[in-house]
Amino acid sequence: MTYNRAMAETTLTSEPSMAPRQLILLALRDIAPVMLAALPFGVVIGALAAKKGLPFDQIMLMSGLIFAGASQFVALELWGVPPPFWLIVFSVLAVNFRHILYSAALGRKMRHWTAVGRYGGFALMVDPVYVLGELRGGARLSGVYYAAIAIPLYFGWLIATALGALFGRLIEDPKDFGLDFVLAAYFIYLVAQFRERPNAVPIILASAAFAIVAFFTIGPPWHIASGAFAGIAVAAGLAGRRAGTVV
């Protein structure tokens, strides 16, 4: 039972039977390290936006409406006076394309939600919110749990962006504290939690290999789509065979 031993934390799925208070505590514990990682990232985004000459209200509008750090970073890198409208729109679409996969996958676990809850919830579905939803959701994702991870992260992101916009110049290099690696270590942990799903090892290897090749050939952000589709294709190709995941 590697599953239960290694996933001692994650077997606490957010069952609808759990009390709301338990769900919220679990959610806050899950989202705390994400907020630690998102804070310096948000500060960097806010500082970059201010450097590009965006007024404070536009910076906050951007974080409030897009709420997707990597794509905001790409948009700001391309920003100019005037901004190249369609280039930025298509670049953001390319970076955020993976959310289509997220909503297809996680939507299956949100069928018991009201339409308002579901379409409101999707607005806040950033990478860690999606992955925690998959990890804790089981077949029916708890709306209380989802709200309790997504809403604090959303407001944390707004606060971090505002801090960066106002005081960005004072911030030291996040590398000094290893903060640039928090997200990587956290994602590595999350990937490992999916290792008991069917064919996890070939899926992960295919994704990593294609992502690295695409990173050095086509270049970012296409490594994400390349790796993702390689892994998903492996999963579809192997579907139905005996699951042979041994780690």
Partner 1 sequence: MIDWTAYGLIVTLGLVTYGTRIGGHLILSRFGRLNPRLEAALDAVPAAVMTAIVAPMALATGPMESIAAAIAVLAALRLSMHATLVLGIGSLIVMRLLLG
Tokens encoding 170 = 């004072």
Nearest approach, Cβ of residue 92 and partner 1 (Å): 5
**Among the listed residues 73, 122, 140, 152, the single contact to partner 1 using CB under 8 A:** 122
Tokens 């069952």 locate to: 15
Binding residues among 188-207 for partner 1 as defined by CB under 8 A: 188-195, 197-200, 203-204, 206-207
Q: CA angle, 119 as apex, 115 and 123 as ends, to 5°? A: 165
Cα–Cα distance measured from residue 156 to residue 127, given in angstroms and rounded to the nearest whole number: 15
Binding residues among 165-184 for partner 1 as defined by CB under 8 A: 175, 177-178, 181-184
Binding residues among 37-96 for partner 1 as defined by CB under 8 A: 54, 58, 61-62, 65-68, 71, 75, 82-83, 85, 88-89, 92-93, 96
Binding residues among 143-162 for partner 1 as defined by CB under 8 A: none
Cα–Cα distance measured from residue 174 to residue 65, given in angstroms and rounded to the nearest whole number: 25
Nearest to 133 by CA among 152, 146, 118: 146
**Among the listed residues 39, 125, 148, 160, the single contact to partner 1 using CB under 8 A:** 125
Residue 239, Cβ density class (10 Å: 0-12 exposed, 13-18 middle, ≥19 buried)? exposed
Nearest approach, Cβ of residue 169 and partner 1 (Å): 22
Cα–Cα distance measured from residue 207 to residue 196, given in angstroms and rounded to the nearest whole number: 16
Q: Which is nearer to partner 1, 17 or 219 (CB)?
A: 219
Binding residues among 204-243 for partner 1 as defined by CB under 8 A: 204, 206-208, 210-212, 215-216, 220, 223-236, 238-240
**Among the listed residues 130, 145, 146, 157, the single contact to partner 1 using CB under 8 A:** 130
Residues 6 or more apart whose CB falls under 8 angstroms from that of 55 comprise none
